[in-house]
Amino acid sequence: MSDDPVRRQGPPEERRRQRFISKSSAVSLKYLRRVEELPHMPEALTPFLHILGHVFVEQGGAVKPEHIPTVGTYCVMVPPELIYAAGAMPVKLCGGSYTAFNIGDDVAPRDACPLVKAVMGFETVGAAPVYRECAMIAVPVTCDCKKKLAGYLGERRPTVALHVPSGRDRDEDMERFVEELYAFGAKLTELTGAPLSYERLSWACGLTAAAQYELSRFITLRRKAPLVIKGTHYMAAMNAMSYTHISLWTRHMRALCDELEQRIRNGEMASKENRPRILVTGSPIVFPNFKLPLLIEEMGGALVADETCMGERGAYDPPAIVDQSTDGILRALANRSTRPCTCPTFVDNKRRLYRIRQMIEDYRVEGVIYHVLRGCLVYDYEYRAMEEELGKLGVPIIRVESDYNEEDVEQLRIRIEAFVELIKYGKR
């Protein structure tokens, strides 16, 4: 039977793993191709796509120097500086895989969000080296799904549940989060043997500062010329950040900015001037779940900005270190990772409305698409306030709900196409 082309080798578990790998590689490859096929792709985007291909198609590990261990993180509230300072490297593991989702669907309750189901799927099947190779995992306790995920992962491997305050206006809350970071730091030291000294921390802050510098350059370029790069291409670059050593990513980002600057000088744009300019906000958009950005641009919209936690939200200003000491840095990091954050898991999140208003102005946005992953209550809750706010500004908004499968693509397409037309015809 060994030459049977569809019969896999080994025990059932192993055969399932192999099937999983080939299926998820195929889906990732398909989406990678669609990203590549979008016209006006900058040449400097290629290395970012290689990273996504390496991780999701070739099923390789994180892209990094060999000896460095990786620490899996979720959300934007785990300060990468701590991990780099300890001599490890963070990889952001929020999942976007439809294949993994299918497996996680059997583990998580029906109404859990697909992002967390995908993570549970990866964990259950034990494939995907980026997941497997992590020496430790840090899960911020934010929404209910993440909370239960922390518990689930904790039963299986070394996991730190990072208790993020749900409010950020009281000193006690911040104090507690600083303590959390200390405890997390101690775990990291246990793992690598490297103490979190002032020198190491400030060196790590330098690493992320360099990345943030390039990112802020990128954001400035894009504010000046919202159409200089397709939104899907931008999202691919941001997604690649999750799986790459930050110095490497910074280098790729620098090259991308250089190319975009050149484009602007040459008056070369990635989209026609009269295309409706759209901003995406809402639940995370994680590769390969790129159907939404792809549909927007394929249906004639220009995706000029995104306010999601895989996009600009990860690009806060560098930590403002007031007190030049280890404690000073930790406090600065605690502040940086929570205060400006627009994640809806905070009790009060008015700043998200401010941020959106700001972005609408900066990128001259003409319509907002509000993405809700099925079961992602925290984002769904905030829709109403957003709709009200945008109503005052006269900026149209639609809510689109989607899941990790391709069955809803046509429904999404109809809505997105009609939304693009709504803006187009509304302009005349």
Partner 1 sequence: MKVYAGLDGGSTYLKAALIDEYGRVLRTGVTSTGIDNNASAKRLLAGLMEACGVSRVDYTMATGYSRKILEVADDDVSEITAHAYGVRVTAPKEYRSGMIVDIGGQDSKIIYLDANYTVKNFTMNDKCAAGTGKFMEVIAQILETTIDQVGPLSLESTAPCDINSTCVVFAQSEVISLVARKFDRRDILSGMHLSMAKRIIKMMKKSEKDGDVLMTGGGALNIGLRKAFEDELMRDVFVANYPQFNGAIGAALLASERG
Q: What residues line the site for ligand SF4 (CB under 6 A)?
A: 75-76, 94, 113, 115-116, 142-143, 145-146, 283-284, 309, 343, 345, 373, 376, 378-379
Which of ligand SF4, partner 1, none does residue 146 bind (CB under 5 to 8 Å by kind)?
Answer: ligand SF4
**CA-to-CA dists, residue 162 to 165, 185, 187, 235, 303, angstroms:** 10, 11, 12, 27, 34
In the complex with ligand SF4, the residue whose CB is nearer, 42 or 311, is 311
164, 333 contact by CB (below 8 A): no
Say which amino acid occupies 330: L
**Binding partner of residue 378 among ligand SF4, partner 1, none, CB cut-off 5 to 8 Å per kind:** ligand SF4
The least CB distance from residue 423 to partner 1, in Å, is: 9
Residue placing its CB nearer to partner 1 in the complex, 146 or 275: 275
Q: How far is the CB of 301 from partner 1 (least distance, A)?
A: 13
| Residue 160 host element (H or E) | strand 159-163
Tell the smallest beta-carbon distance from residue 399 to partner 1 (Å): 9
Q: What angle do CA 301, 303, 305 make, to 5 degrees?
A: 150
Task: Name the binder of 118 from ligand SF4, partner 1, none, CB < 5-8 A by kind.
Answer: none
Q: What is the closest distance, in whole angstroms, from the C-beta atom of residue 242 to partner 1 in the complex?
A: 32
C-beta of 372: minimal distance to ligand SF4 in Å? 9
Please report which helix (H) or strand (E) contains residue 413, including its range: helix 409-427
Backbone angles phi, psi at 110, to 5 degrees: -55, -40
Residue closer to partner 1, measured from CB, 75 or 400: 400
| In contact, 269 and 345? CB cutoff 8 Å | no
Residue closer to partner 1 (CB basis): 133 or 421: 421
- Least distance between ligand SF4 and beta carbon 428 (Å): 37
Site string for partner 1, 237-256 (x = CB under 8 A): --------------------
Tokens coding 393:
């500004």
Interacting partner of 142 out of partner 1, ligand SF4, none (Cβ under 5 to 8 A depending on kind): ligand SF4
Residue 77: CB minimum distance to ligand SF4, A: 6
Nearer to ligand SF4, 225 or 376 (CB): 376
Contacts made by residues 414-421, CB under 8 angstroms, sequence distance 24+ = 416/292, 416/295, 416/296, 416/299, 416/301, 416/369, 417/299, 417/300, 419/278, 419/301, 419/367, 419/369, 420/276, 420/278, 420/296, 420/299, 420/300, 420/301, 420/367
97 binds, among partner 1, ligand SF4, none (CB under 5 to 8 A by kind): none
Q: Which residues sit opposite 306 in a β-bridge?
A: 280
Cα torsion 235, 45, 417, 398 to 10°: value is 20
Instruction: Tell me the three state secondary structure of residue 342.
Output: coil
How far, in Å, CA of 329 to CA of 326, rounded? 5
C-beta of 264 vs 395, nearer to partner 1: 395
Binding to partner 1, residues 364-423 (CB under 8 A): 387-388, 391, 396-398, 411, 414-415, 417-418, 421-422
With CB under 5 to 8 Å by kind, the binding choice for 309 among partner 1, ligand SF4, none is ligand SF4
| Closest to 137 in 3D by CA, of 184, 226, 73 | 73
151 binds, among ligand SF4, partner 1, none (CB under 5 to 8 A by kind): none
Contact 288, 239 (CB under 8 A): no
Q: Which residues of 104-125 are buried (b: 16+ CB within 10 A; e: fewer)?
A: bbeebeeebbbbbbbbbbbbbb
Cβ at position 422, least distance to partner 1 in Å = 4
Residues that bind partner 1 (CB under 8 A): 387-388, 391, 396-398, 411, 414-415, 417-418, 421-422, 425-426
